[in-house]
Structure 1
Amino acid sequence: MEKAVETTRLERFLDSDIWHSFKSNPVAIVSLIVTLIMVLSSAFAPLLAPQDPFDLANIDIMDSSLPPSWMAEGDPRFLFGTDDQGRDILSTIMYGAQISLIVGFASVVFSMVVGISLGLISGYAGGRVDAFIMRVADIQLSFPAILIALLIDGVARGIFEAHLHEQISIYVLIFAIGISGWVQYARTVRGSTLVEKNKEYVQAARVIGIRPITILHRHILPNVMGPVMVIATIHLAIAVITEATLSFLGVGVPPTTPSLGTLIRIGNEYLFSGEWWITIFPGAALLILVLAVNLLGDWLRDAMNPKLR
């Protein structure tokens, strides 16, 4: 019986408009492939990377500042060359992307939980509760996300000692980026909730005495998740960029666990000395990742828009 249900769901998905839209869109296919390659290569970096760039036993200072392997002084062992400490650039990109994606995914999930919860409460309760939540959202929209993240990081540095802040820096970064992005989810979910709560199935649930929290969870939430998934896809790219910006400014993750932003900042110091590969390749990896996720989000937005079908 379970196999029959799974087969039916698979058949429905393969016959859906979204699947047909995906199959007929080469840009979406390429974007998904590129995104999966980068996500999987970073997730399995300990197995796939040619070198563990953070294991001092595998690093030789004599291999420092080697150019890419196809250049005259390049070494075949290091495809994209090495940095000033002798670390393989390709390996640092794979490990750095792992940190960037972890922060990006976690901050998006945090933003979704906060934004969806406040959006459901605001749209369903209405009145003063709705007005208060929306005014807080309007105030936050007047500040750039990067400024909010910098403010939270600065407060954390003032509260915690230096060594303790380094230990929890990733969690502070996730909170800072996540709390700066909840507004879009809340406003979108609120608008959808205002529409859904006046429909007959919600009115019927109220009549038979179902609690509001159950109505929000079982009936309204599933019907507002479509737009939320589109926002989440695009927000992932924004979160990765924000993390890279903060790390480039030196207020993100500590140098001992560098992300792509930290690698770009370190390589930028050697850019004018001719060692361009130290910053160019991490920058290119960040660009490709964000572009692929953005293109995937653009396709998903169009595919889930009934006016474009």
Structure 2
Amino acid sequence: MTDTPSPSDANVTVRTRLDRIPTSATRAWLVGAVLLILPEVGALIQFTLSALPLGETAVAVADRIPVLLSRETIPNQGTLVPGEGWQGTFLGLSPARAWGLRVGLIYLYGALCLYWIWRGYLLYRNRYRTAGWTPFDDVVSRFRGHRWGQFGLLVVLAFLILAVFAPALGPTTLEQNAIDPYSYELDYYDEDTGDVETITVGAANTDTTSQGIDGRNVGPLTYDQYDRFHPFGTLPSGQDLFTQVALGARVSLFIGLLAITISGVIATSLALISAYYGGIVDLAIVLVSDATQSLPQLLVVILLSVVLSQTWLAGLYSGGVLLALIFALTGWPSLWRAVRGPALQVSERTWVDAADSYGLAPRTTMRRHILPYIVGYLMVYASMSLGGIIIGVSGLSFLGLGISPPTPEWGRLVDVGQPLLTTMSWHIAVLPGTLIVIVVTGFNALGDGVRDAIDAETDLSSEEETSAAASGAGG
């Protein structure tokens, strides 16, 4: 039995091919995927159980599941005892090096997972895909030469890893850092007593605030007097800034992905309906879109977030679900207009008429023969819109709206640090603000790269020219 399907298998489903062609490469990829998932399966279970209303007992049981890349496995908090070195950190390393080691391993693990997913796609494309070629193949080839788009992809992937692994990347936990710091203790070496003392995290935070004056500032890449390393420094409350930034990335990603998914589904569905049926149906959707888009989105978002702030929706994920719904329901017209034109263009092609003549159901025709040609446009504008949503959420939090504390959010961090911008505590506002600019620029760059790689109009015209040339040669 060969590994490569024969041409006669063109109409065989992928499931049938997997059953008929259990290649060694497929088995090797599956084994590798399992080996990659196993070290972090505990983190997945913990996240799932903590999100479900199962009580504290289930969460406590989940916390006992070992996780390879975690703060417990590679601890970065310890005590520097003169003559004995660091106590309590991973292999006796300094907190900075232990934290850096954990961060490096997490990003290496994330890169390896992404690479393995890519290898899985190549395996599917070369061995199991029914079509020998799809337009996506050309998109990938063109994107490989687009340096600006690749820069955007790297930024977006780094942001995704930061958001997904946020609890493990922070030097401390949100519970200790902000929610209930006085319930936790830490050990430190007291030079006055010459002994190791104990203090609550809340009291230590009070002594390590950053307020822009001498003696009241813990800047980036420095230690405080309790031997804690702060990669981004501390907040005016003494909380670790990097921990808040990492967890804030997860909040921004959740809101952005949920909002863009909802608006993308609405926009794509309406674009397909508009393109296929046209006429009065298209006109009705245009009127609804114009009516929605005529409203100033920012004012509508602010109004709805205030009006609905006391509803049960505002209690879901500290208001993140409510913000995602508001951005989705006010932002779908722009996505719809972006994909409506290409959908109308494709709907006039001969293959769509041929599909109708064969008696395919309208839903099947839209899904098979129109949707593949507008997905690229949707990806482009969705990527750019995602950056806009992140800015919008940050702006609302900056104004005191949006995500409710103590859940961290980048815009609120900028707001907290704004009065200290010209002092030695500049890092509080500058670092989160810089990350916002870099991430939004990355999403826009990725959108530019995908747009240039797709070049759908050129593909369509090239197909027409090829068909005309073939007809002329045949004549």
TM, length-normalised to structure 1: 0.87
Which residue in the other structure is 2:355 paired with? 205
Structure 1 counterpart of 2:147, from 14, 20, 26: 26
- Residue 273 of structure 1 deviates from its aligned partner by 5.8
Which residue in the other structure is 2:412 paired with? 262
The answer to whether the 8 Å contact 1:43/1:98 transfers is yes
Q: Which runs of 5+ in 2 are unaligned?
A: 4-17, 19-25, 27-122, 185-200, 211-216, 460-475
- Residue 53 of structure 1 deviates from its aligned partner by 3.5
Q: Deviations over 1:149-196 (max 9, x none)?
A: 1232233136x27xx734461111001111122112222332223222
2:132 corresponds to 1:132:
no
Paired amino acid for 2:441: L
Distance in 2, Cα, partners of 1:205 & 1:16: 24
2:201 corresponds to 1:50:
no
Which residue in the other structure is 1:298 paired with? 448
- Runs of 4+ more than 6 Å apart: 9-13, 71-76
From the superposition, tell whether residues 76 and 22 of structure 1 become closer, same or farther in structure 2 (CA, over 3 Å).
farther
The answer to whether the 8 Å contact 2:174/2:244 transfers is yes
Matching of residues 225-244 of structure 1 within 5 Å:
225-244=375-394
Structure 2 counterpart of 1:165, from 298, 314, 323: 314
The answer to whether the 8 Å contact 2:316/2:322 transfers is no
From the superposition, tell whether residues 190 and 6 of structure 1 become closer, same or farther in structure 2 (CA, over 3 Å).
closer
Which residue in the other structure is 2:439 paired with? 289
From the superposition, tell whether residues 25 and 129 of structure 1 become closer, same or farther in structure 2 (CA, over 3 Å).
closer
From the superposition, tell whether residues 215 and 24 of structure 1 become closer, same or farther in structure 2 (CA, over 3 Å).
closer
Paired amino acid for 1:152: L
Give 3-state SS (helix, strand or coil) of 1:87's partner: coil
- Residue 269 of structure 1 deviates from its aligned partner by 4.1
Structure 2 counterpart of 1:100, from 247, 252, 257: 252
Give 3-state SS (helix, strand or coil) of 2:231's partner: coil
The structure that has the greater radius of gyration is: 2
Paired amino acid for 1:97: A
The answer to whether the 8 Å contact 2:209/2:236 transfers is yes
TM, length-normalised to structure 2: 0.58
Distance in 2, Cα, partners of 1:40 & 1:84: 27
Paired amino acid for 2:219: P
Paired amino acid for 1:103: I
The answer to whether the 8 Å contact 2:373/2:456 transfers is no
- Residue 217 of structure 1 deviates from its aligned partner by 2.2
- Structure in which a larger fraction of residues adopt helix: 1
Paired amino acid for 1:299: G
The answer to whether the 8 Å contact 1:119/1:190 transfers is yes
- Residue 290 of structure 1 deviates from its aligned partner by 0.9
From the superposition, tell whether residues 302 and 83 of structure 1 become closer, same or farther in structure 2 (CA, over 3 Å).
same
- Residue 239 of structure 1 deviates from its aligned partner by 1.1
From the superposition, tell whether residues 189 and 18 of structure 1 become closer, same or farther in structure 2 (CA, over 3 Å).
closer
Paired amino acid for 1:29: Q
- Structure in which a larger fraction of residues adopt strand: 2
How many residues get paired?
305
Distance in 2, Cα, partners of 1:261 & 1:180: 21
2:266 corresponds to 1:117:
no
The answer to whether the 8 Å contact 2:208/2:218 transfers is no
Distance in 1, Cα, partners of 2:298 & 2:208: 37
- Residue 127 of structure 1 deviates from its aligned partner by 2.3
2:208 corresponds to 1:63:
yes
Which residue in the other structure is 1:7 paired with? 126
Paired amino acid for 2:368: R
State percent identity of aligned pairs: 31
- Residue 100 of structure 1 deviates from its aligned partner by 0.7
2:346 corresponds to 1:196:
yes
Distance in 2, Cα, partners of 1:155 & 1:125: 38
From the superposition, tell whether residues 54 and 199 of structure 1 become closer, same or farther in structure 2 (CA, over 3 Å).
same
Distance in 1, Cα, partners of 2:333 & 2:355: 29
Q: Deviations over 1:274-306 (max 9, x none)?
A: 522111111111111111111121122122225
Which is bigger in relative contact order (C-alpha 8 A, separation at least 6)?
1
From the superposition, tell whether residues 72 and 110 of structure 1 become closer, same or farther in structure 2 (CA, over 3 Å).
closer
Structure 2 counterpart of 1:85, from 205, 219, 237: 237
- Residue 73 of structure 1 deviates from its aligned partner by 7.9
Structure 2 counterpart of 1:153, from 273, 280, 305: 305
Distance in 1, Cα, partners of 2:124 & 2:420: 58
Structure 2 counterpart of 1:185, from 335, 338, 355: 335
Distance in 1, Cα, partners of 2:146 & 2:128: 23
Q: Which runs of 5+ in 1 are unaligned?
A: none
Give 3-state SS (helix, strand or coil) of 2:309's partner: helix
The answer to whether the 8 Å contact 1:69/1:77 transfers is no
